[in-house]
Chain A
Amino acid sequence: DTAVSQTPKYLVTQMGNDKSIKCEQNLGHDTMYWYKQDSKKFLKIMFSYNNKELIINETVPNRFSPKSPDKAHLNLHINSLELGDSAVYFCASSLGLPSDEQFFGPGTRLTVL
């Protein structure tokens, strides 16, 4: 029983392409997040959704568009991929507030060539 799952685990693509990463949680949580972890291991929040509503939208290029069809799913679509987008992207969920324990997915390693 995977609590927070992401697909795909690895994504290798060419610059300029559009790609999506999917995330699902079966914990019944209200809040979901997308984080980016760069090569220096800094984990930075990109977006958070609470009950399908966008709560946090960090200074992320508008090439990144999150979509939450329901509170158990939060997908990330990236347009016109650039070399600098290469990183590991983590989805997470929490009961409600960010101060609640966050459960992270296994991550998606994106490599842009």
Chain B
Amino acid sequence: SQKIEQNSEALNIQEGKTATLTCNYTNYSPAYLQWYRQDPGRGPVFLLLIRENEKEKRKERLKVTFDTTLKQSLFHITASQPADSATYLCALGGYSSASKIIFGSGTRLSIRP
């Protein structure tokens, strides 16, 4: 069955360092991958989308890579700040309207001052 795994339950990073989060998947060939941020008690907020034919996407301090051979996406936050502390979810899906999007369980990121 399709499976998404995100790295370790929690990641603690010193402020200013680069945080790297991992999303691995099996038994799936997604057309795209999305990353969302979720704060406690709130709904997820969309951050970035990367398509299967793209290797890398950037947005301000965020960078996402997508390796369809390794079946892995890496999500980087450079110059991390305490305000970046949240849970980050990756999600995979296909293009048709009937394709369901599958979410990982998320990685909780804590940035210490």
Contact = CB atoms under 8 A, between A and B. Distances in A.
Interface of A: 4, 31, 35, 40-45, 48, 50, 55-56, 58, 90, 92, 96-99, 101-107
Contacts, number: 63
B43 A97 contact: no
Given A96-B97, A98-B97, A99-B93, A105 B43 contact: yes
Interface in B93-108: 93-103, 105-106
A45 B41 CA distance: 18
Contacts of B91: 43
B79 interface: no
B44 interface: yes
Contacts of B99: 98
Contact of A102 (B46, B94, B97): B46
Contacts of B94: 98-99
Interface string B74-88: 000000000000010
B87 A45 contact: no
A35 B89 CA distance: 14
Nearest to A44: B103
A96 B101 CA distance: 13
Contacts of A102: 34, 44, 46, 101
Q: Which of B41, B43, B93, B96 has the most CB of A within 10 A?
A: B43
Nearest to B9: A41
Interface in B23-46: 31-32, 34, 41-46
A41 B94 CA distance: 22
Q: Which of B45, B87, B97, B103 has the most CB of A within 10 A?
A: B97
B49 A92 contact: no
Given A31-B97, A56-B98, A98-B101, A41 B87 contact: yes
Given A56-B98, A58-B100, A97-B95, A41 B106 contact: yes
